[in-house]
């Protein structure tokens, strides 16, 4: 049994515990430790992805209790892909935090590692109750991170965020209980088999539990109408935390994908989400665009862009098939990195604008306006999906996947109109911030600009990599999607000859 | 017994939802607590209701209580306990920082 599967979970857990024990150590050592743990996680994630792309998917039976009786961790290509994206995002968010944001409150590094622990666990687990537990871990860490830095704004946003997520956890437990009561198992592969062969009496309960689960994942993903918590929470968080939170909505999208193609992948209930997912995803996209247009501050605008990205991503997943899912999996890292880079950039801008913060009001010309403006321009193009950057390729793949579908007109209209309105909104914010400025009376001192821009530039370089290597990356996402469309591979690996 | 228990879970859930929709933080916390009680009893009942049966292997009996929901409930109780403690502290912090106990931080 290869221990590689559990390494992405154990590394942040051990690093988090170690950081907690060493909390009285000088901040430089704690930063070094956090950074080392993060680099190790990236290395492990790359190894894991390579292993599962080259060979069969890996199953790790905890305590060597075989599925379906024990809890298993499953590293299939999708899980490994998500683990790698999370690790890379975590690395750059941490790099930004090292510049001082980690000092704004206590235990930043501990919470950061535990948040990664919860995220990686949620991607790798093959057991539904275990997924609930990892969700709670990542949420509890995220509550602490959201409140990092304190202030009334954060307390208010934090209270809403915590209460709505606690309600979501309760729904999750109801769904888990219903599934266990109906089928007597919580192993995801075993559940998929049982749901596929459900008797007519069981079918109703299975659908009920499935839709409850969909509601929970939709809440995490901020799908309309459960999206209202997101802009307030994300715009109130400290920049590196907001950047890391971009992946949290993707955990919800990941859950929906697993629910759709694995748990309800076959049998009579396989049409569970067909009627819901595409309309809701398009509605999310449309409302997100309105939010972007209506925002009066940059951070809130970026938070609404995260809602748009969820809508686009779930549109791709809803289109389904190898094409749709592969397009979504290409779009996912792009939108995660670009959104995170935007949050970091928005922070760099707002600290330079003094009392005007990130509000769209004219301010004295910034000393570093050329460099910051250039980066803003790049990120805006990336997010809006203009050629030639990776956002364009992602949207192109999604639209191509929509070609065969019956809803092509709706998808085309909403995605393209949304893209256009996003460009207009971002052009307006950019021109207010950079052009409509009155000349500076005294040159603003440059706060060591370059080290500050390294994390955002790194994320942009990753997007550039996605653009240049679009062919190979597309091949990888197609392979992942191809495996997802054959759930029997997953089920066979978990239930037959597990732990080998 | 099943009907009574399901009625009980339903009533507690309804009370929890009602309290959670109130405007002040204290009823909201109570509502969340009630909801977590309801879901714990619900999970417990999912192993079917049995009385006086052992959950572990015993040579003298052929009837067993399902041990898994008991383990699940234990986990869920611990988590919801921690979460309740956290949300109470957060509510107190919000009360101190925002000057009132309204969930939006704005008094009437």
| Residue A208 CB partners (closer than 8 Å, separation 6+) | A178
Residues 223-252 of A with CB under 8 A from B: none
Closest residue on chain A to B36 (Cα): A170
| Residue A170 CB partners (closer than 8 Å, separation 6+) | B32, B35, B36, B38, B39
Are A159 and B86 inside 8 Å of each other by CB?
Answer: no
The residues on B that touch A, with CB distances below 8 Å, are 20, 25, 28, 32, 35-36, 38-39, 42-43, 45-48, 68-69, 72, 75-76, 79-80, 82-83, 86-87, 90-91, 93-94, 97-98, 103-105
Are A155 and B75 inside 8 Å of each other by CB?
Answer: no
Contact A233, A146 (CB under 8 A): yes
Rounded CA gap, A319 and A400, in Å?
10
Rounded CA gap, A242 and A240, in Å?
5
Rounded CA gap, A484 and A261, in Å?
7
3-state secondary structure of B2: helix
- Give the alpha-carbon dihedral of A357, A305, A446, A146, to 10 degrees: 70
Rama region for A150: left / alpha / beta (φ>0; ψ in -120 to 50; rest): left
Contact A73, A5 (CB under 8 A): yes
Rounded CA gap, A120 and A452, in Å?
27
And the tokens for A52? 């599962």
Closest residue on chain B to A179 (Cα): B46
> What pTM, to 2 d.p., does this model score?
0.93
Are A159 and B68 inside 8 Å of each other by CB?
Answer: no
Residue B75: other Cβ atoms inside 10 A: 16
In this predicted complex, what is the ipTM?
Answer: 0.94
Rama region for A354: left / alpha / beta (φ>0; ψ in -120 to 50; rest): left
| Residue A70 CB partners (closer than 8 Å, separation 6+) | A61, A62, A63, A64
A143 contacts in chain B (CB < 8 Å): 86, 90
The CA distances from residue A493 to A66, A127, A187, A498, B5, in Å, are 12, 14, 13, 6, 39
And the tokens for A25? 């150590």
Rounded CA gap, A431 and A355, in Å?
19
B32 contacts in chain A (CB < 8 Å): 163, 166-167, 170
Are A159 and B43 inside 8 Å of each other by CB?
Answer: no
The CA distances from residue A178 to A59, A77, A154, A204, B15, in Å, are 26, 29, 36, 11, 21
Rounded CA gap, A383 and A398, in Å?
15
The CA distances from residue A171 to A209, A217, A255, B13, B33, in Å, are 10, 10, 14, 11, 14
Nearest to B25 among A159, A167, A186 (CB): A159
Digitized pLDDT (tens) for each residue of chain A, 500 residues in all = 588 999 999 999 999 999 999 988 888 999 999 999 999 999 999 999 999 999 888 999 988 888 888 899 999 999 999 999 999 999 999 999 998 888 888 889 999 999 999 999 999 999 999 999 999 999 999 999 999 887 888 888 999 999 999 999 999 999 999 999 999 999 999 999 999 999 999 999 999 999 999 999 999 999 989 999 999 999 999 999 999 999 999 999 999 999 999 999 888 888 888 889 999 999 999 999 999 999 999 999 999 999 999 999 999 999 988 999 999 999 999 999 999 999 999 998 888 887 888 888 888 777 778 888 899 999 999 999 888 899 999 999 999 999 988 889 999 999 999 999 999 999 999 998 888 777 766 555 556 777 888 999 999 999 999 999 999 999 999 999 999 999 999 999 998 854 33
φ, ψ at A126 (rounded to 5°): -115, 20
And the tokens for A390? 């990776």
Q: Which of B37, B100, B25 has the alpha carbon at shortest distance from A162?
A: B25
Which residue bears the tokens 């750059």? A92
The CA distances from residue A106 to A23, A488, A500, in Å, are 9, 47, 43
Contact A222, A306 (CB under 8 A): yes
Q: Which of B65, B26, B20, B76 has the alpha carbon at shortest distance from A172?
A: B76
Using one digit for the tens of pLDDT, what is the confidence trace for B19-78? 999 989 999 999 999 999 999 999 999 988 888 888 888 888 888 888 889 899 999 999
φ, ψ at A158 (rounded to 5°): -65, -40
- What would the DSSP string read from start to end of B37-91? HHHHHHHHHTT---SS--SS--TT-S----HHHHHHHHHHHHHHHHHHHHHHHHH
Give yes or no for A496 touching B (CB within 8 A).
Answer: no
Residue B65 distance to chain A (closest CA, Å): 13
Rounded CA gap, A234 and B1, in Å?
47
* Ranges assigned E (strand) in A95-193: none
A159 contacts in chain B (CB < 8 Å): 25, 87, 90-91, 94, 103
Burial of A210 (0-12, 13-18, 19+ CB in 10 A): buried
The CA distances from residue A478 to A253, A254, A263, A325, A397, in Å, are 18, 16, 21, 8, 11
Nearest to B104 among A133, A156, A169 (CB): A156
């Amino acid at each position: 049994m290869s221990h590689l599967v559990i390494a992405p979970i154990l590394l942040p857990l051990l690093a988090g515990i170690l950081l907690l024990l060493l909390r009285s150590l000088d901040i430089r050592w704690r930063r070094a430790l956090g950074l080392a743990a993060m680099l190790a996680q990236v290395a492990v994630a790359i190894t894991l992805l390579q292993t599962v792309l080259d060979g069969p998917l890996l199953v790790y039976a905890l305590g060597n209790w075989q599925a379906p009786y024990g809890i298993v961790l499953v590293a299939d290509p999708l899980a490994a892909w998500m683990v790698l994206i999370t690790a890379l995002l975590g690395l750059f968010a941490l790099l930004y935090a090292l510049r001082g944001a980690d000092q704004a409150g206590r235990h930043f590094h501990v919470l950061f590692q535990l948040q990664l622990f919860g995220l990686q666990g949620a991607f790798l687990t093959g057991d539904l109750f275990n997924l609930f537990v990892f969700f709670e871990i990542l949420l509890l860490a995220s509550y602490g991170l959201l409140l990092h830095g304190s202030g009334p704004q954060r307390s208010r946003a934090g209270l809403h965020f915590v209460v709505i997520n606690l309600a979501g956890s309760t729904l999750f437990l109801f769904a888990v209980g219903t599934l266990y009561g109906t089928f007597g198992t919580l192993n995801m592969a075993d559940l998929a088999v049982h749901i596929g062969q459900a008797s007519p009496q069981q079918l109703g309960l299975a659908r009920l539990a499935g839709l409850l689960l969909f509601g929970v994942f939709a809440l995490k993903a901020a799908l309309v109408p459960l999206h209202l918590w997101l802009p307030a929470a994300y715009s109130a968080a400290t920049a590196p935390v907001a950047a890391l939170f971009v992946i949290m909505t993707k955990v919800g999208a990941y859950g929906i994908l697993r629910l759709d193609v694995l748990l309800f992948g076959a049998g009579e209930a396989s049409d569970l989400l067909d009627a819901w997912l595409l309309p809701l995803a398009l509605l999310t996209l449309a409302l997100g665009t309105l939010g972007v247009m209506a925002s009066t501050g940059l951070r809130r605008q970026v938070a609404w862009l995260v809602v748009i990205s969820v809508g686009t991503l779930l549109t791709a997943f809803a289109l389904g098939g190898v094409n749709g899912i592969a397009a979504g999996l290409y779009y996912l890292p792009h939108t995660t990195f670009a959104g995170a880079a935007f949050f970091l950039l928005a922070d760099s801008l707002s600290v330079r604008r003094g009392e005007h913060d990130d509000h769209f009001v004219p301010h004295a010309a910034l000393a570093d306006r050329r460099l910051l403006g250039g980066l803003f321009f790049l990120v805006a193009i990336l997010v809006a999906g203009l050629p030639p950057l990776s956002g364009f390729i992602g949207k192109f793949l999604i639209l191509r996947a929509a070609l065969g579908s019956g809803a092509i007109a709706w998808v085309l209209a909403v995605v393209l109109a949304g893209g256009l309105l996003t460009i207009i909104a971002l052009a307006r914010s950019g021109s207010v911030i950079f052009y409509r400025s009155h000349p500076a009376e005294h040159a603003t001192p440059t706060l060591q600009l370059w080290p500050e821009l390294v994390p955002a530039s790194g994320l942009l370089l990753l997007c550039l990599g996605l653009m240049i290597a679009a062919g190979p990356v597309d091949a990888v996402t197609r392979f992942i999607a191809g495996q997802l469309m054959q759930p029997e591979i997953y089920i066979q690996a978990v239930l037959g000859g597990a732990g080998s | 017994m099943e009907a009574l228990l399901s009625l009980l879970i339903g009533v507690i859930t309804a009370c929890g939802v009602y309290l959670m929709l109130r405007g002040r933080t204290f009823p909201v916390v109570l509502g969340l607590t009630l909801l977590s009680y309801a879901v714990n009893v619900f999970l417990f009942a999912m192993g079917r209701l049995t009385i006086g049966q052992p959950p572990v292997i015993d040579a003298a009996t052929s009837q067993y209580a399902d041990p898994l929901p008991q383990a699940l409930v234990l986990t869920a109780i611990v988590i919801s306990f921690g979460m309740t403690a956290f949300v109470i502290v957060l509510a107190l912090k919000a009360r101190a920082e925002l000057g009132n106990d309204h969930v939006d931080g704005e008094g009437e």
